Structure 1
Amino acid sequence: MSEAIAEKPAARRRSWDIGRYTLLITLVAIVVVTAIGNPRFFTINNLFNILLQISVLGILAAGQTMLIVSAGLDLSVGAALSVAGVVAALTIVSTGSIALGIAAGLATGALIGFVNGLLVATNRATPFIVTLGTMTLLQGAAIVISGGSPINGMGALFDVFGLGDLFGVPNPVYALAATLVVVFFVLRRTVLGRSAFAIGGNEEAARLSGIPVRSRKIGLYTLNGLIVGVGAVVLTGILDSALPNMGNGYELRTIAAVVIGGTPLFGGRGTVVGTFGGVLLLGLVSNSMNLLGVGANYQNVVLGLIITAAVLLQKRG
């Protein structure tokens, strides 16, 4: 009996190790298969292209990580990105100032995040329902504000994020790296981050231990909104245009990246490093299928199968 009991922790450790390295194994497998199928995969231009393609998704997923760690969720990130981008673009077009445009985009994102946080913190409805409602509202707002038409001519913003690079690395990649570092620091080194883990682990216990749960939730959602504003500015610069629907789809992809990266939807644990791995997996899959000549009609099927398999393997681990 004692030997059987002693074997259980060892078995759990082996199972945990399998789950921990599933993402890494999947990434390596995709890289190897693609490199064999198409040698262009390992060119510097292609690697930088992958990082550029995942930059906006990575920025948004970093903010989503904080919320999911706290057992929260934001389904409105895509719609909020559209609204913040449209506001930033309109400001630039009307004032000619890139600084004012960036400030307007960031402020809009932060305001949306604050409202989401206020609704989640003071309402008995789940974050899923609350942010589903704000997502629908913001999708309509983006169309109303933009008049249903794209806003073109970002000028200097396009020069910075669309064409700009430093030492050969596209500027959006630096924006992604800076966001990841900030979120990593917030989660690991600040009171707000430690509160997120505590709330996600057991909200009632966190409240009884003296953590101001409501204000912490508002803070997390506001910071997430600010990060969405960063993503909006970057995407608007890359596209040299602001589209009222340019954020569609990001809400589900950010959640997929966070979960693939090892952060459970019920919260309490997680890391932005894992989230970056999840984002990288999504980017590699898309890039690999393009290089291997997989038809567009099959790409979503393959991507869905890989995401499902990765999540199931991690849950098993």
Structure 2
Amino acid sequence: MTSSAATAAQPAGRKSGASRKVDIGRYTLLIVLLLIVVITAIGNPRFLSVNNLLNILFQVSALGIVAAGQTILLIAGGLDLSVGAALSVAGLATALTIMHTGSAVLGILAGVAAGTLIGAINGMLVSTNRATPFIITLGTMTFLQGVAILMSGGSPINGTGALFDVFGLGDFLRVPWPVYAMILAIAVMFLILRFTTLGRYAFAIGGNEEAARLSGIPVRRIKIALYALSGLFVGVAGVILTGVLDSGLPSMGTGYELRAIAAVVIGGTPLIGGRGSVIGTLGGVLLLGLVSNSMNLLGVGANFQSAVLGLIITAAVLLQKKA
């Protein structure tokens, strides 16, 4: 911990033992997932080709951005189940703005603003402490799913022009632009967690919220800021995914909430908060992408892939609960 409040939040006697147990659980799961990757590479030489690896990075880029925002929430002891629905709303806001104005720049601003606003509203609701973040964001998720259908009329909003040219078709040195966006998002979150007051406060609140409050940290304002920051990341992911698909879809964010949580937890950030790393989250995102791609190459159906994702999430949580 870099904050005195964060340090005080953890009893000295149990910190090292708990950390060791969490690490053992995390590495056990990572080893199992890596074994799946190795087996696939042996069975299909195309798996580790440069083109396939770039394709995996391209496919997980939006997820990586969403998971980066989710990381700081879990570190602070929070959670946001509405990120998938918020991504859909942000993407639709982008597509509708481009359709009515013809401006990709205005579309990007609309999408990012929509995501940030949704995150800030979630933060205001969570900071009241009238219910758990799980229940509150479950409610906003359901509400936003309805909003997405109303915005789109239940149909895709097609045609994003320059946005598709950049994020759907563009690349630099053979690396697609969405991959650069994911790397930038991870880097920004790393800097926030490592070097800013907001990052230190997130660790302190996740370690012991009451101790953080008593030490003078404005917990309510920090929670709003954290959720708004996560919403900004979701908005960026929505813009990028809209460009990749060349359309806004009311269901484009479906499943992102579970996959983002899975990536963060696999990366070693516990659901109880207090510690974590966005670099670990990146590892979780890449492993999920590798596993998904390996199942595609092995001809595993989409429904079975969902079952595997559920098992991965369950295993990650149970292994951490041993702490």
TM-score by length of 2: 0.90
285-294 vs 12-21, greater mean Cα deviation: 12-21
Which of the residues 201, 224, 227 maps onto 2:230?
224
Q: 1:181 corresponds to which residue?
A: 187
CA distance in 1, matches of 2:21, 2:133: 32
Shift of 1:252: 1.5
Is 1:279 aligned to 2:299, yes or no?
no
CA distance in 1, matches of 2:308, 2:60: 18
AA aligned to 2:167 is: F
Unmatched segments (≥5 aa) in structure 1: 1-7
Which of the residues 264, 271, 276 maps onto 1:258?
264
Shift of 1:23: 4.7
Is contact 1:23-1:261 (8 Å) kept? Answer: no
Distance 1:111 1:10, change over 3 A: closer
Is contact 1:60-1:227 (8 Å) kept? Answer: yes
TM-score by length of 1: 0.92
Identity of aligned residues (%): 73
The Cα offsets for residues 165-198 of structure 1, whole Å up to 9 and x where unpaired, read as 1100011101100000111111111111100000
Please identify the structure whose Cα radius of gyration is greater.
Answer: 1
Is contact 1:82-1:247 (8 Å) kept? Answer: yes
The Cα offsets for residues 234-287 of structure 1, whole Å up to 9 and x where unpaired, read as 100010000011111111111111111111111111111111111112111111
Q: 1:38 corresponds to which residue?
A: 44
Is contact 1:263-1:269 (8 Å) kept? Answer: yes
AA aligned to 1:74 is: D
Shift of 1:138: 1.0
Q: 1:172 corresponds to which residue?
A: 178
Across the aligned residues of Structure 1 and Structure 2, the Cα RMSD in angstroms comes to 2.1
CA distance in 2, matches of 1:303, 1:130: 24
Shift of 1:17: 5.3
Distance 1:106 1:207, change over 3 A: same
Shift of 1:42: 1.1
Which of the residues 187, 192, 196 maps onto 2:198?
192
Q: 2:106 corresponds to which residue?
A: 100
Is contact 1:85-1:232 (8 Å) kept? Answer: yes
For these two proteins, the number of residue pairs brought into alignment is 310
Is contact 2:123-2:223 (8 Å) kept? Answer: yes
Q: 1:155 corresponds to which residue?
A: 161
Unmatched segments (≥5 aa) in structure 2: 1-13
Is contact 2:21-2:320 (8 Å) kept? Answer: no
Shift of 1:202: 0.5
Distance 1:133 1:43, change over 3 A: same
AA aligned to 1:48 is: L
Q: 1:312 corresponds to which residue?
A: 318
